[in-house]
Structure 1
Amino acid sequence: MRKSIASYLTLTLTICILLFVSFSSDETIDLSKYSTAGLELYYTVSQDQSIKDNALASNEVNKPISPILGKSFVGFKEALAFKESRGDYFIVNTLGYLGKYQFGAGTLKLIGIHNPSLFLKDPELQEKAFVANTQRNKWILRRDIKNFVGRKLNGILITESGILAAAHLAGAGSVKNYLRSYGIDNFEDSYGTTIEYYMKKFSGYDTSSITANKKAKAI
């Protein structure tokens, strides 16, 4: 019995000494010796399979993706539409101008549209109307485009897109007066926007895809 008690005491003392030595040692454990390579690992959280790997790697995941329109014709008409109405197809301003490109009823008649109410409800027709009106303005201003593009008036470089944007604002006749007066006759609309402002703001877009057409119609 005494031998058993002595054995237990000896074992306990040995364990205490080993623990003391272990905790008092300055030696650090080298974790690089341990690896999970080759082991089959199991996780309680699964990856969402609907999320693409490249999306997970990107910090732009939550940002909307939009096309870069640049100085293309689409870029031209969208920039102009944003200035006119912030791109709203169904808006009517305080002067009665309609839709995304803010057409007046008189201009709509010139390109074959006689029902402003239906026009306002039809985005596709509004896009056709913009193209038709731009074609018509390009025909009316064809000589002025030839004579003035590349020149500077009041420090502004004259470009075809600037001329066509200004014609959308003020009408082709007012743009002719501006150019042929060498920038003196600067039309201003009811909101204080001038031909010169549009000439500068919408300068340098590629409108070469628009063909000059005296009889252009949206319908």
Structure 2
Amino acid sequence: MTTFDANTGGRATGRKRIAVVTAGLSKPSSTRLLADRLAAATGRLAEADTQVIELRELAAEIAQNMVTGFPGPRLREAIDAVTSADGLIAVTPVFTGSYSGLFKSFFDVIDKDALAGTPVLIGATGGTARHSLVLEHAMRPLFAYLRAVVVPTAVYAASEDWASGGETALAARVERAAAELAALVAARPGRQGSEAAPEAVVPFEEQLAALAAEG
């Protein structure tokens, strides 16, 4: 279900964690390649662990969840990884001028409040540059609705961007977007896995005794 960046095996104490959602359907996939580049750059700049979630491996469980309302174990693990992360990278291929149905379905099964305040870097891949506006007219509004914080720079990679002529420009966009996400992740208070001491719980009997004394 999930894969981890080569230099991590999970969450290390005191380190931030970035979830990477990729909706590519083929293997190998240009969508996964872009997601890996964004993850590598952000992980390096933020000194964070990265966890990659391949939606193609969860397609059956996502469809079942849409019908039954209950996630299977692998999908539950993926949802938990995304909603507990300090930052999110989300990359989709362009289908019919928008994000893929698999990509949308995954975020449909996540609670609408679970990503509030989460820094997000959005990316997409397609055959031609004319589809690049999918980032602004489809993906950015989606995460705005979920009340996530989307970084200013979105990254689109067309077929020509993987050739030698477009590689330099693509690399520059990747670095700029990664720097923006890294800055937001670094500034965000730690979430799950932080070393903050848990708040002390006062027994109910003691609370009643304190109220009686005040009276």
Do these two structures clear the TM 0.5 threshold for a shared fold by scoring above it? no
Larger relative strand fraction: 2
Q: Which has the higher contact order (CA 8 A, sep 6+)?
A: 2
- Give the TM-score of the pair, scaled to structure 2: 0.23
- Give the TM-score of the pair, scaled to structure 1: 0.22
